[in-house]
Amino acid sequence: MFHIHNNLTAEQQLENVIVGVYDHPSKFSGFAKVADEALGGHLTELLKEGEISAKAKRVSKVHTLGKLGAKRLVFVGLGKEKELTFETLKEAAGKAVKQLNSSKASSAAVDLESFTGETVSGTDAAHAISEALALASYQFEGYKQKSNEPEKRIEELLVFTAEDEAEIKAALTVGYVYGKATNSARDLVNLPPNMLTATDLAHYAESLGEKYGFETEILGKEEMQRLGMGALLAVNQGSVEPPKMIVLKYQGKEDWTNVIGLVGKGVTYDTGGYSLKPRESMVGMKTDMGGAAAVLGAMEIIGEMKPEQNVVAVIASTDNMVSAEAFKPDDVITSMSGKTIEVTNTDAEGRLALADAVTYAKQHGAGYLVDVATLTGGVIIALGTEMTGAMTNNEALFEQVLEASAEAGEPIWRLPITEKDKKRVRNSKLADLNNSPGREGHAIMGGAFVGEFAEDTPWVHLDIAGTSTAKKDSDLGTSGATGVMARTLALLVERFESASE
C-alpha cells in the first residue's frame, strides 16, 4: 500500500502527484517549485490566475502534457499556513482522493514536504493523508447486480519525504488503521437488519477476538436468565432472534487493573415495540446498533495498535419487535443490578439494554465507563447532526474523552445532568426507576437513566443518534453510516494511561 522514497524529481514517471499548496500567492516550494521551473513558470501563472487554488480544501488538477515525468499534478489547497489544522488537512486530502478515485486512478504519489508547515509536522501530515485515503475511498457495496468492470480505487501510495522513513511509515500505518477500522464500523451500520442479527454481530465480534487474541465471551438467553439480565431480556421478549451479550477483553498490562469499559448499544432493529414508531421514523432503524459498531471499530484499532492499557468491551444486542410476547408499557422489570424499572415507553429500549451492559462491564472489572448509543431523537433536536451529545459524572474522564474527540475530528458537546434530572428518572410509584419520564429534556433523561447503573464509577455517555449517519456525502465519506466514535474511543484508550496515572 505505502512506499516511501527520498527524492521526487521532474523526470520520474508517475501517473498522479499530489502536492499541497499554501495560500501565499506566486510562490511554490519543494517539488512544485521544481515542476514550475520545468514547465517554464506555467504553474505560477495558473496560481496567479486562480486556475490553481490555494484556498483550503480546493483541489486543482493540471496535466503536464509530457513536459514532466508525472502525467498529472493534483494541487490541494491548504489555506493560510498558520491556520491549517489536522482535520482540515485530512478533509482536503480526502477531497483529492475522491477526485482521483472518480478518475479510476490506481496509484498516486505524495510530496509530503509540501503539506508540512507551522502547524502540521511530517508525521501528522502522513497520518492525515493515509487516514483520508481509507475514509474517502469507502463504498458500501450493497446488493445490486455487479458490473463486469471492477471499480478502481487508489491501492498504492508513493510518499516522497526527506524525513525519517521509520517515523513516516509508522504514521502512515496508524492513520490507515484508524481509517479502515472506521470503515468496518460503517459496514456494520449499513448492513440491512435481516443480514445483521444479534447472532451475526456476535459472530463478527468472535472473528475480531480470533484475529487479535481477545478473550471473548458471548452470553445467550439462558445465561442471561441465570445472571438476571431482566432489562435486556425484556427488550428481546417480542423477538424470534435470540439476544446476545458480547464481551471482548484486551489486556495490555500485566495486571487486570485500571480497566476502561467500552459499552455499546447493539439494537439491530428498533420498531419501537408496542410504543410503535411512525412509518417514516422506522425506516433507517437498522442503524440503531451504531454504538456497538463504534465499540467494535475501536477494538479493531486496539487489536492492531496494542496499547498498554486494559479494555473490556461489552455490547448488549437484540432487536426490539412486536409480538404477543413483547414487553409493554406498564410492565415492571428487574435489571441485573437489582434495580427495578417501570416501563412507560417500549421505544426507550436502548437505555434498558445499556443498563445490563454497564452492570456487566463493572462486574468484569471496568473502573471507567464510556457508553456509546444511538439513544434519543432528542439529542438531534438539541444539537443537530454534526455534534454528539455527552453526559458524565466525572470531570477528569470527560476531559480525556473531549480531547480524544477533538483529535479524531468527532466533536462532542456536554449536556447537564442535575439532581432534579436524577429525581425525574427515579419518579415511579411502582419501581426504582422510570424508563421514560417525559419528552422534556429527552436526551438528558436517557443519559441520566444509564447513569443510575454507572453509579459511582467514572462514566461518560455519548449519544450518537444524530452523528452515526449522514444524509449526504462528505470529503471523508459517503451518505449513510459514518463510523463515528470508533476513532475517539481508540484514541481515548491510547492516551488514557499517561493521562490517568
**Is 405 a domain residue?**
yes
- Whether 173 and 201 share a structural domain: no
State the pLDDT at residue 499.
Answer: 41
Beta strands 412-414 and 388-392, pairing class: parallel
CB count within 10 Å of CB 452 equals 19
Q: How far is CA 174 from CA 123, 169, 202, 295, in A?
A: 10, 9, 26, 18
State the pLDDT at residue 25.
Answer: 57
- Whether 164 and 221 share a structural domain: no
Looking at residue 439, its amino acid is R
On whether the CB atoms of residues 454 and 393 are closer than 8 A, the answer is yes
Percentage of residues in the chain with pLDDT exceeding 90?
93
Summarised one tens digit per residue, pLDDT across range 354-377 is: 999 999 999 999 999 999 999 999
Which one of 71, 153, 221, 277 is the catalytic residue?
277
CA 265 – CA 105 distance, rounded (Å): 39
CATH of the domain at 467: 3.40.630.10
**Is 169 a domain residue?**
yes
**Is 270 a domain residue?**
yes
CA 190 – CA 271 distance, rounded (Å): 17
Number of independent structural domains in the chain: 2
What one-character-per-residue DSSP string does 121-189 give?
-HHHHHHHHHHHHHHHT----TTSPPPSSPPP---EEEEE-SS-HHHHHHHHHHHHHHHHHHHHHHHHH
DSSP class of residue 195 equals: G
- Whether 138 and 208 share a structural domain: no
Burial letters for 262-297: b for 16+ Cβ neighbours within 10 Å, e otherwise?
bbbbbbbbbbbbbbebeeeeeeebbbbbbbbbbbbb
Is residue 403 a known part of a binding site?
no
- Whether 14 and 91 share a structural domain: yes
- Known active-site residue 351: yes
- Whether 88 and 207 share a structural domain: no
- Whether 359 and 460 share a structural domain: yes
CB contact set of 121 (below 8 Å; sequence gap of 6+) = none
State the pLDDT at residue 29.
Answer: 76
State the pLDDT at residue 500.
Answer: 44
State the pLDDT at residue 30.
Answer: 81
CA 436 – CA 344 distance, rounded (Å): 6
Q: Which residues of the chain have pLDDT under 70?
A: 25-27, 147-151, 497-501
- Whether 176 and 250 share a structural domain: no
On whether the CB atoms of residues 254 and 319 are closer than 8 A, the answer is no
**Is 189 a domain residue?**
no
- Whether 128 and 246 share a structural domain: no
Model's pTM, two decimal places?
0.97
Is residue 347 a known part of a binding site?
yes
CATH of the domain at 108: 3.40.220.10
- Whether 44 and 166 share a structural domain: yes
**Is 439 a domain residue?**
yes
- Whether 218 and 291 share a structural domain: yes
Instruction: Write out the residue range of the structural domain in which residue 201 sits.
Output: 196-500
Which one of 351, 362, 424, 487 is the catalytic residue?
351
Is residue 265 a known part of a binding site?
yes
**Is 91 a domain residue?**
yes
CA 455 – CA 335 distance, rounded (Å): 14
- Whether 164 and 245 share a structural domain: no
**Is 291 a domain residue?**
yes
State the pLDDT at residue 231.
Answer: 99
Q: How far is CA 197 from CA 372, 404, 464, in A?
A: 19, 31, 21
- Whether 104 and 130 share a structural domain: yes
**Is 188 a domain residue?**
no
101, 61, 98: which is closest to 77 by C-alpha?
Answer: 61
- Known active-site residue 487: no
